[in-house]
Amino acid sequence: MTRSRVLVLTYAITLAVLFAIPWLLARYQLSIFIELLIFGLFAMSLDLIMGYAGMISFGHAAYFGLGAYASGLILIHFEAPIPVALLAGIALAGAVAAPVGWLSTRATGIYFAMLTLAFAQLLYTLAYKWRELTGGSDGIAGVPKTALFWGLPNVTSPAVFYFIVLSCLLSSWIACRALIRSPFGHAIQGIRENEARFVSLGRDSRPFKLLVFVIAAGVAGLAGALFAPFRGFASPEAMFWVASGQVIMMVILGGIGTLIGPIIGAMVFILIQEVLSSHTAHWMLFTGIVFVLMVILLPGGIVGLARRLFEGRT
Amino acid sequence: MTAVLDTLDLSRSFGALQAVSNVTMSVQRGEFRAIIGPNGAGKTTLFNLISGKIVPTAGRVLFHGEDLTATPAPERCRRGISRTFQMTSIFPELTVSENVRLAVQLKGEGNFRIFGGQKQLLASARKAEEAIGLLGLLDRTNVPASTLAHGDQRLLEIAMAVAQDPQLLLLDEPTQGLSIEETTATVETIRRVARERKLSVLLVEHDMEVVFGLADRITVLHFGAIIADGTPDEIRMNVNVQKAYLGAD
Amino acid sequence: MWSFVVVQLLNALSLAALLFLVAAGLTLIFGILRVVNFAHGAFYMVGAYLGFTTVVLSGRFWLALLVVPPIVGLIGASLEVSTLRFIYQRSPNYQLLLTFGIGLVLEETVRVIYGANSKSVDAPSLLDGSVHLFGTPYPTYRLFLTGLGIAIALGVWLFFARTHAGLIIRAMAQNSEMANCLGTNVQRVRTLVFGASCALAAVGGVASAPMTTAYLGMSVNVVVDAFVVVVIGGLGSVVGSAAGSLIVAAAQTWGGYYISETAMILMYLVMGAILIFRPHGLFGEKE
């Protein structure tokens, strides 16, 4: 079978399985699966920056957190329909990412990475200290699942919420793919490959990097905005540097620069976390060691490994 | 008729070192000009001054009579000065076609669209294909640039610059690192490209055979200053040039 | 009135000394070796915790200052040999990712061994207490820190500017292939410099522990601060690190006088201004 036929078949089967999930899994398992999808979306957004633009961001979790807070506050105080909360999450994340990105892209490489970390820590501290708005270290709790639209009843069935998350993930994936293949996406990859050459060919690279940074932040904000009603709370921990580190690990684990890879990586990472944390309190240590080994030995991640195996056989 | 390029008393010093001093030269439309000189003569510095990579400490650069001295390099590229680099500088994981297409797009007026950019991509791809064909890389157009042999990567460099439809093409040691056969082939290709596109070319080279095979006029630098300027025959017989090269041994 | 100004000035100075210790190591290793070490703060933290253990076991702070940096240097060097060495030829992004992973592993290891609570370290009795300056008591320990920072700064500068070894390292930074041909074992020098920079970070960790306690968040806090210092001061410039340390310390000391939050905000404002008007830092080299 040709490679493209295998790919199409895989996509079709995956899609079918994804649609059937609510009937295949028990309630508790479905809940975990929703979390896998939300973090898959989060990790995919980071891949836009890391895999396609070649910029490492140590502060990506800040935008997830901002999305969660925006969504949580809208849902608690205004009981607006879920799509409104989602839009609020995307908007807040993007709005904050714009000035942060503008300042950070004035630097490159490690400087850029550290600046993203510095700004994320600043945002974390703001969330931690601004008790009146964010509930401080406790965060905001009691975030409800509201309705899909004005006039409709609130979403109570986990299956319905699952499809909301799934449709967000699928549409974001389609949008990201389109972005990668667009002239803009190709320009971004050129910047990743050789920024100096890009600039010498006639354009400033910074607006491109800024735009992809903001878009990625927006998608991360969407993931956060889904997380708040899903779990019912939003907390500063979601913005801490450790969380940013974890999403980086998801991207590397799954396969940087593949869009699908990070989604898979997120799922594997969270499942490992679930399994390990029930056996030992030090699961983070093992995860860190695995991460270090992967960076050295398997930088292409799971998808990279799969591609190599597949290419080896044909 | 205005020259394509004029440098007026162009100078550049690095601390106490005068790398380029008072270089005044003029490149006419359609001319193939080579800049040569022994090692350390200041060829690369002069090149970088013209392309905008570094700023002069004195003097001016005029392009079609317009003063570009204060204009940064990317802007000069958009105005019509395209260059290649001595150390191959391409986009390794992108395909040959994507490399050249990106060069076309970066020169163009259009925005880099996120949605609905396919028409723009196709137009740029067509333009890129012309340049790729001109440089003889059409059969390798869909492979990642990193998999090309060194010689083909040098050609890709040139294709990227040529695809931008420059009015002045700057070639920085295009035969660097090539074998004798590759060099001959590359020289032939450059001659053909320059003729077909009616380009004005400024070439920096070490290889004398290449220079004498391509140039209409040769400018010789020594210690940052022009010591000779003329046709290949004139330069061949110029006593000062001989002294500079032999003396520097 | 005078005494207030003097106290604030000395506070800023001692904070600057601490920042400089970390930032200098960072800018050296990046400016010279082009090695990107996110784990720098983690080595600082390990230094603080090992300092705690040494003081607990031996009761002597000076012993900790003497013994811990070489140990941490060795840990750093062995990590360099076993991990970092394999990815030098890849893009610097991978160095960043790898050292981030190492930093994470180090932090988690410390958490496993020591637990999550911070550990306080007693300063030696000689440095305990205060000194009378301009009529007000000022903590002796802070003066010690300032002196230590200045001494190390001078030492590092002297090493690079005046010694043969320093010259070799600087040459290597400019052109490692050439240095290789000339007989320098580039691999070994890299390992040594990496280990030395970790040791330097550990000195900072041990020295700061009596003042700040040893706590898990140190690694990230310190590395963020150090990078802000380097952004402001400029890459690869030790003078820049000194200037940056002073500026950041001043911002944090005076900004933090009224509300501690404004300290951080002020620091970020300064950094933001530098990024806008002088993206290469005050003394940085244009690349």
pLDDT in tens, C157-167: 788 778 877 77
DSSP A147: B
Show Cβ contacts of residue A1 under 8 Å, excluding neighbours closer than 6 positions. Answer: A9
Is 80 exceeded by the pLDDT of residue A213?
Answer: yes
- Report helix, strand or coil for C127: coil
What is the least distance, in Å, from the CA of C281 to any CA of chain A?
10
Give the whole-angstrom CA distance, residue B37 versus residue B173.
Answer: 13
Report the alpha-carbon distance of residue A245 to residue A262 in Å, rounded.
14
Tokens 């990046």, located at residue: C30
Tens of pLDDT, residues A256-277: 999 999 999 999 999 988 888 8
Residues in A touching C33 (Cβ below 8 Å): none
Sheet of strand B217-222: strand arrangement: B81-83, B168-172, B200-204, B32-36, B217-222, B225-230
Enter the tokens of residue A251. 């991207």
Contact C224 A56 (CB under 8 A): no
Question: In this structure, are strands B217-222 and B32-36 parallel, antiparallel, or unpaired?
Answer: parallel
Packing angle, helices C218-233 and C40-58, rounded to 10: 130
Q: Alpha-carbon distance B99 to B93, whole Å? A: 9
Residue in C83, C97, C235 nearest the CB of A56: C97
- For helices B150-163 and B118-134, what crossing angle results, to 10°? 120
Determine contact, residues C21/C205, Cβ cutoff 8 Å: no
- Amino acid code (one letter) for B160: M
- The residues near A203 (Cβ < 8 Å, ≥ 6 apart) are A187, B74, B106
**Nearest-angstrom CA–CA distance, B160 and A94:** 35
> What distance in Å separates the CA atoms of residue B49 and residue C46, rounded to the nearest whole number?
50
Q: How far apart are CA C100 and CA C273, in angstroms?
A: 27
The DSSP bridge partners found for residue B225 are: B222
Q: Are B161 and B83 in contact (CB under 8 A)?
A: yes
Task: Identify which of B77, B102, B120 has the shortest CB distance to residue A190.
Answer: B102
| A267-271, B112-116, C13-17, C29-33: which is most confident | A267-271
**Beta-strand runs (E) in chain A:** 140-141, 233-234
Q: How many CB pairs under 8 A join A and B?
A: 85
Mean model confidence pLDDT for chain B: 87
Taking contacts as CB-CB distances below 8 angstroms, the residues of chain A near B75 are: 202
Which range in A72-81, A82-91, B38-47, C4-13 is most confidently predicted, on average pLDDT? Answer: A82-91
Structural domains in chain A plus CATH codes: 3-313 (1.10.3470)
Task: Single out the residue of A48, A57, A176, A52 nearest to residue A105, CA to CA.
Answer: A57
Give the pLDDT confidence of A113-155 residue by residue, as tens digits: 888 988 898 898 888 888 888 788 888 888 888 888 877 888 7
- Per-residue pLDDT at C78 exceeds 90: yes
Label residue B92 exposed, middle or buried (CB < 10 Å: 0-12, 13-18, 19+). middle
Chain A CB contacts of C228 below 8 Å: 118
Find out whether B45 and B173 touch, Cβ atoms under 8 Å: no
Among B18, B7, B82, B19, which Cα is nearest to B45's? B19
Alpha helix locations (H) across C163-236? 164-174, 176-181, 186-212, 218-233
Q: Cβ separation of C36 and A107 shorter than 8 Å?
A: no
CA distances from residue C245 to C148, C206, C223 in whole angstroms, order as listed: 15, 19, 13
Domains, chain C, ordered by start: 2-277 (1.10.3470)
Q: Name the residue among A182, A189, A202 with its Cβ closest to that of B106.
A: A202
Distance between B81 CA and the closest CA of chain A, angstroms: 10
Residue-wise DSSP of chain B: ---SEEEEEEEEEETTEEEEEEEEEEE-TT-EEEEE-STTSSHHHHHHHHHTSS--SEEEEEETTEE-TTS-HHHHHHHTEEE--SS----TTSBHHHHHHHHHHHHSSS---SSS-HHHHHHHHHHHHHHHHHTT-GGGTTSBGGGS-HHHHHHHHHHHHHHT--SEEEEESTTTT--HHHHHHHHHHHHHHHHHTT-EEEEE-S-HHHHHHH-SEEEEEETTEEEEEE-HHHHHT-HHHHHHHHHT-
pLDDT of residue C210: 87
H helix or E strand, kind and range, residue C136: strand C136-139
pTM for the structure as a whole: 0.88
SS3 state of residue A160: helix
Q: Which residue of C has its CA nearest to A283?
A: C108
Q: Which residue on chain C is closest to A281 by alpha carbon?
A: C112
Query: Which residues of chain A does C108 touch, with a Cβ-Cβ cutoff of 8 Å?
Result: 282, 284-285, 288
Q: What was the ipTM of the complex prediction?
A: 0.86
* Cβ within 8 Å, pair B106-A196: no
pLDDT at A27 (0 to 100): 85
**Tokens read off for C272:** 């933001």
Rank B35-39, B79-83, C209-213 by mean pLDDT and report only the highest. Answer: B79-83
Alpha-carbon span A183 to B115, nearest angstrom: 9
Give bridge partners of residue C214 from the DSSP assignment: C119
**C103: nearest CA in chain A?**
A288
**Is A268's Cβ below 8 Å from some Cβ in C?**
no
Q: How many percent of chain C have pLDDT more than 90?
A: 15
Distances, alpha carbon A8 to alpha carbons A13, A15, C236, in Å = 9, 11, 51
Please tell me the distance from the alpha carbon of residue B175 to that of residue B154, in angstroms, as a whole number: 7
- For A6-49, the pLDDT digits (tens) are 888 888 998 999 888 888 888 888 999 999 999 999 999 999 99
Q: Is the dihedral of CA C202, C203, C206, C209 positive or negative?
A: negative
The amino acid occupying position A272 is: I
Do residues A26 and A154 touch, judged by C-beta distance below 8 A? no
Cα nearest neighbour of A176 on chain B: B114
Whether residue B107 and residue A189 make contact (CB cut-off 8 A), yes or no, is no
Percent of chain A at pLDDT exceeding 70: 99
Q: In percent, how much of chain A has pLDDT > 90? A: 52
Token output for C36: 């990107």
CB-based contact (8 Å) between B74 and chain A? Answer: yes
- Residue B201's φ and ψ, nearest 5 degrees, are -125, 140
Predicted confidence at residue C287, as pLDDT, reads: 41
Q: Nearest CB to C224: which of A56, A107, A121?
A: A121
Cα→Cα distances C209→B87, C48, C57, C64, Å: 49, 5, 16, 11
Instruction: Give the mean pLDDT of B210-236.
Output: 87
Q: Is the pLDDT of residue B249 over 50?
A: no
In this complex, how many residue pairs, one in chain A and one in chain C, have their CB atoms less than 8 Å apart? 99
Q: Does B113 score more than 90 pLDDT?
A: no
Task: Give the pLDDT band of residue A227 (cuts 50, 70, 90).
Answer: very high
Q: Which of C103 and C285 is assigned the larger pLDDT?
A: C103
Angle at B24 between CA B22 and CA B25, to 5 degrees: 150
Q: What's the pLDDT at C260? A: 65
Which chain C residues contact residue A304 at CB under 8 A?
none
Q: Is A284 on the interface with C (CB under 8 A)?
A: yes
Nearest neighbour of C261 by CB, restricted to A111, A113, A129 = A129
Q: How far is A77 from chain C (nearest CA, A)?
A: 27
Q: In the predicted model, what is the mean pLDDT of chain C?
A: 81
Specify the amino acid at residue C108.
E
